[in-house]
Amino acid sequence: MRPFDGRTVLLGVTGGIASYKSAWLARLLTKAGASVDTVLTRSATEFVSTITFEALTGRTAHTGLFDSGRALEHIKLARAADAIVVAPATADFLARAAGGQANDLLTAVLLATKAPVLLVPAMNDHMWAHPQTQANVTRLRDIGYRVLNPDEGALAAGEGEGPGRMPEPETIFAYVARLLESNGSSTLAGRRVVVTAGPTHEAIDPVRFISNHSSGKMGVALASSAWRRGADVCLIAGPLSVAAPTGPAIRRVDTTEQMARAVGELAPVADVLIMAAAPADFRPATVATSKIKKGETALVLAMENTTDILRATLERRKKNAIVVGFALETDDAVANGRKKLEDKSLDLIVVNDATEAGAGFGVDTNRVTLIDRAGAEEVLPLLSKADVADAILDRVERIANGR
């Protein structure tokens, strides 16, 4: 799984109650294809065992700096790692790391490595808020470590709720993926990317609306992939039936007009604009103020066009912005896609057939044809939407590199 295949992640575990979550993080990383080396501090072994991590990763779990036969273990681990994540990182560990100490295996590895480092604090909310802890976090960020802010929520038994809770393993996993992929290798790192996703709802009356079957899965996959590559991503999301992604900023909208306004506001600053949403093309000309009652005769709705979002951005797009559109068709898909590419002045259009099994709305797969401004076609096989998103963004990066 990109970007974990063939990569080595060192997972550091320190002595907090949240360390039970670290076992699941180790499992997620291993299942994604990473080789996971685990380093537990002595205090961590009071909460979780090395056997747990060895069973989940299939690799030796490490503890002592001076264990027999492992005199240079910190150097070997430091050099082998493509990324290092410490989760949980206790207040004590943050203090020692900020001070440049190397009095255990984990802090020694940090001093010996050139790999990017992600620290995930977890502690009592008062400990997190203490000025000394905050000064340590500032110091760690200043020297280049990424430090996540803890979540708010239930703390240890009897401690109530507050900021200090370790983020869930799935969230940390997403940040490790970003650490691996955006570390100087992606053209999108640091660029502003705007992605739209999902359907829109156009009201008929206070309880009914017109929409379509879009789940938003394709747009969410694109936003996730762009964010993983280091981009500053804003996802403009209509009503989604899929979970929102970790990382991107999310701007919620309901109607096509709301989506058009949001895209219009961001188009002047977007380096990449990807219109993956399926906004409604029509809306009722009038909206009833009360629920329309079922009668003896059929209801007839007068419809009007909604705003053409891509066309509306033509004069507002940032110079040299890369614009990607989608064409979901039921007839003459490629021909209609080519027309849309020209009419909307796109750099790339993604064409798919709504009637093809496994490639329409609400599924986890897609089969698309990519057509660029020069007219070249690339037909992709049936892939997961995550893989389709990566293929699209690989093309976007090649376009960006050519400008």
Active site residues: 212
3 state SS of 117: strand
388 burial (CB, 10 Å; 0-12 / 13-18 / 19+) is buried
Q: Helix, strand, coil: what percent of the chain each, to 5?
A: 35, 25, 40
Per the listing, tokens 């203490």 go with: 130
Structure tokens at 71: 């005199």
Q: What region, left, alpha or beta, does residue 307 occupy, with left being phi > 0 and alpha being psi -120 to 50 degrees?
A: beta
Q: Rounded to whole angstroms, how far apart are CA atoms 132 and 140? A: 12
Q: Which helix (H) or strand (E) holds 147?
A: strand 146-147
DSSP classification of residue 363: S
User: 330 near 354, Cβ under 8 Å?
Assistant: yes
Q: Strands of 238-332 (E only): list them.
A: 249-252, 272-275, 282-284, 303-305, 322-329
Rounded CA gap, 89 and 57, in Å?
A: 20
d(CA 75, CA 113): 8
Q: Are 105 and 10 in contact (CB under 8 A)?
A: no
Given the DSSP bridges, would you call strands 202-205 and 208-210 parallel, antiparallel or unpaired?
antiparallel
Q: In angstroms, what is the C-alpha Rg of the chain?
A: 25
Question: Could you write out the DSSP letters of every residue in 232-257?
Answer: EEEEEE-S-SSPPPSSSEEEE--SHH
Tokens of 328: 């979901």
Separation CA 242–CA 361 (nearest Å): 12
In the block, which residue shows the tokens 């979970």? Answer: 243
DSSP label at 68?
A: T
Distance between CA atoms of residues 299 and 297, nearest Å: 6
